[in-house]
Structures are given as structure tokens and as C-alpha cells.
Amino acid sequence: MLSINKYDLTVKSPIILTLVFAAGLSFLLHDPVDAVIILIIALVTILYIFMAEVVKKVFYRGINGF
């Protein structure tokens, strides 16, 4: 069974933190459309990084066996 540690995800990624900060700042400056777009970009980035981790672990397991 493939196990992904929830702390391996992207919370500590500087790009994600920057995007969330920019979305919050955009929301505070009364521009909710930009804030939502930035949050969508952040979520897509998180999903991409998560999927890359899954593929990396599956590939590594396939090379080294079970």
C-alpha cells in the first residue's frame, strides 16, 4: 500500500505561501476575483506537487521492488 505522509505536502513550499499571501492581500484590497483566481492557482499547484510525489513514490517502489 502506498502511504503519503500528510506533512510531505506543500505547506512549507515558498510558492504556495506566497500565493496564499497574495490572495489574502488581494481580498483585503477589495479585489475578490483576483483573490479567487490566485487561490485556484495555488490549489492547482498543490495538486500538481502532490501528484508528483505520488508518481515518484510509485516509480521508486517499482524500481526497488516491494
**Average pLDDT value for residue range 14-36:** 94
Report the pLDDT value the prediction gives residue 38, as an integer from 0 to 100.
Answer: 97
Q: Please state, in angstroms and rounded to a whole number, the distance separating the CA atoms of residues 8 and 11.
A: 8
Q: Please state, in angstroms and rounded to a whole number, the distance separating the CA atoms of residues 26 and 35.
A: 5
Confidence of residue 58 (pLDDT cuts 50, 70, 90): confident
Q: Please state, in angstroms and rounded to a whole number, the distance separating the CA atoms of residues 37 and 41.
A: 6
Q: Please state, in angstroms and rounded to a whole number, the distance separating the CA atoms of residues 53 and 8.
A: 8
Report the pLDDT value the prediction gives residue 53, as an integer from 0 to 100.
Answer: 84
Where in the chain are the domains?
Answer: 13-61
| Top-confidence residue, 62 or 28 | 28
| Top-confidence residue, 28 or 54 | 28
Q: Which three cell numbers stand for residue 12?
A: 512549507
Confidence of residue 1 (pLDDT cuts 50, 70, 90): very low
